Structure 1
Amino acid sequence: MSRADAMTRAATHRAAHAAASPWADFAPLLARVLLSLLFIYSGIGKLMGPEGTMAYIAKAGLPLPMLSYAMALVVELGVATALLLGWRTREAAAVMAVFSVMSALMFHNQFGDKGQLVQFLKNLAIAGGFVQLMLAPVARWSLDARRKASR
């Protein structure tokens, strides 16, 4: 059996197993909910305390704290909500993955502090979840699936 045949056979097996699993439809929805809620909650917190958030951004050494604050709100409220609903899931997950890695690098880079190292690693783990969503097929319970079905 050629390598291409083996890969096709393995992909077919995975697809058949996923279709038979009751989790195949539910798991992507659960992943989107669990990953997005953290960011939506954080975005609401930023809305409630803009001065503190901008001071934190400035303390981290980022230029233009007001612009960084606005961009964080767009990502944490807008993009995370799109992800929650399954609208443009791959694009939203890509943005969220980059945002998570950038946040880790900018705000949790004091590796001598074990607490900050844990936060850094958590951000990377969350980014890994977003990468998984980027690569997953269109989920049944999503706006992407509804859009695809209407074509």
Structure 2
Amino acid sequence: MNASFTPLASLLARVLLAALFLYSGFGKLMAPEGSLAYIAKAGLPLPMLAYAGALFAELLVAGAFVLGYRTRWSAWLLCGFTLMTAVVFHNNFAEKMQLLQFMKNLSIAGGFLQFALCVPGAWTLDHKFGRAH
């Protein structure tokens, strides 16, 4: 890839990876009842705490990831969150859609893992403040 396009490509990749989380987080924030019921149905203890954790990951951490703030740490957190949600919420492999959702989460986690292991790029707050490595 042309080096002049690398910062733009990195930004675009961060936006594309985080878009799902930001959209889902805003949905949870606007209609918490459905999210809390879904969390409780999955059998998680302390649904309100799990809900707060999901909001933290999907809004704050995903927002930081897009901005390139603590990019590697946010990528690690989102990778872990994505894997955890795959295991907890998409574990009924007898249903084809659940298996597909599980595999989708694995793929997304792979994208976050790539960012966790690489230098985040020039168009990030990390780079601006000298934390690019």
Q: What TM-score, normalized to structure 1?
A: 0.83
- 1:21 Cα deviation after fit: 3.0
- Summarize deviations over 1:29-74 as a string: whole Å, max 9, x none: 1111001111010000001111111010000000000000001000
Indicate the residue corresponding to 1:94 in structure 2. 76
Give me the whole-angstrom Cα distance separating, in 2, the residues matched to 1:134 and 1:66: 29
Q: Which runs of 5+ in 2 are unaligned?
A: none
- 1:28 Cα deviation after fit: 1.1
**Identical residues among aligned pairs (%):** 56
Which structure has the greater CA radius of gyration?
1
Give me the whole-angstrom Cα distance separating, in 2, the residues matched to 1:127 and 1:140: 23
- From 32, 52, 59, the equivalent of 2:41 is 59
How many residues in Structure 1 have an aligned counterpart in Structure 2?
131
1:79 paired with 2:61, answer yes
- 1:23 Cα deviation after fit: 2.9
Give me the whole-angstrom Cα distance separating, in 1, the residues matched to 2:61 and 2:107: 19
Q: Is the 8 A contact 1:28 1:133 kept in 2?
A: no
Q: What TM-score, normalized to structure 2?
A: 0.94
Indicate the residue corresponding to 2:97 in structure 1. 115
Give me the whole-angstrom Cα distance separating, in 2, the residues matched to 1:100 and 1:62: 16
1:1-151 map, 5 Å: 20-148=2-130
Q: Which runs of 5+ in 1 are unaligned?
A: 1-17
- 1:139 Cα deviation after fit: 0.6
Indicate the residue corresponding to 1:8 in structure 2. none
1:22 alignment partner, SS class: helix
Give me the whole-angstrom Cα distance separating, in 1, the residues matched to 2:120 and 2:100: 32
Q: What amino acid is the match of 2:13? A: A
Give me the whole-angstrom Cα distance separating, in 2, the residues matched to 1:147 and 1:21: 21
